[in-house]
Structure 1
C-alpha cells in the first residue's frame, strides 16, 4: 500500500506534514507492507495552484490508497473518496512518525482542525 502525505518542505526523513494539503510544496509517497515502511519518495507538488480534482487524480496516479493530512475541505474529501483514497485528517508532525503511528494503530484523527478559520470556508 502507498500512503500519501502533504509536506511543508523537502528535508528527507525530517520533513513535516503541511497544515494545508493543497498548498503544500511537496508530497511524500510512503510504501508500506504489513506494518513495515519499505520506502518513501518525495515529489514536488505540481498543482500548488490547482483546480478542483487535480490533486486527488495526481495522488491516485502515484498509486496511493490513503492520504494522511492535517486538514482539508469536505469537497476535497469527497474527491479523494471518489478515487478510492481513504483520508485520515487531524495529523501533524513528522511524516514518517505519522505513518508509523498509523501502522501501529496509535493514530487518532483530531477534528479540532475543523474549528480553524482557515478551513471553515474552504471547499
Structure 2
C-alpha cells in the first residue's frame, strides 16, 4: 500500500503535515512495506484556493490512500475519481499521522466533510 501525506518539508517520517492538501509544498509518499519516503514537490503550493492541481501530481504514482489535515472539494473529487481513499488526521508529523491511520483513529472523509471555504488554515473533516 502506498500512502500520501501532504507536508511542509522533506524530513521523512519527521516531516510536518501541511494544514491543507492543495497548499502543501511537498507530497510525501510512503510505501507501507518499505517505509522509504519519496518526495514530490508541489509547484502549485502558492496558488489561490479553487485552483488546486495538486491531486494531478499523484496520477500514475500508484497511491492508495491520502492522509491529511484538510483539503477542498475539488481535490477530494479528483482523488475519489482516481480511486484514492482520503482520511483526516490531527497529527502534527508523518510518523504520528501514519500511526493514527493504522490504528483506525483517522476519519474517512466524504465530499460533505471536505472543506467548503477558502482560507489559510483549515480544520476540515
TM over 0.5: yes
Considering fraction of residues, name the structure with more helix.
Answer: 1
Residues 22 and 75 in structure 2, CA contact (< 8 A), matched pair in contact too: no
Residues 68 and 91 in structure 1, CA contact (< 8 A), matched pair in contact too: no
Cross-structure match for 2:63: 64
Instruction: Tell me by how many angstroms 1:116 deviates.
Output: 7.9
Q: Unpaired runs of 5+ in structure 1?
A: none
**Which stretch of the first structure deviates more once superposed, 20-29 or 39-48?**
39-48
How many residues are matched?
Answer: 117
* Aligned-partner SS, 1:88: strand
- Structure-2-length-normalised TM-score: 0.73
- Cα distance between partner residues in 1 of 2:100 and 2:71: 21
CA RMSD of aligned residues (A): 3.2
- Structure-1-length-normalised TM-score: 0.74
Q: Unpaired runs of 5+ in structure 2?
A: none
Q: Could you say if the C-alpha distance between residues 100 and 116 of structure 1 is closer, same or farther in structure 2, counting changes exceeding 3 Å?
A: same
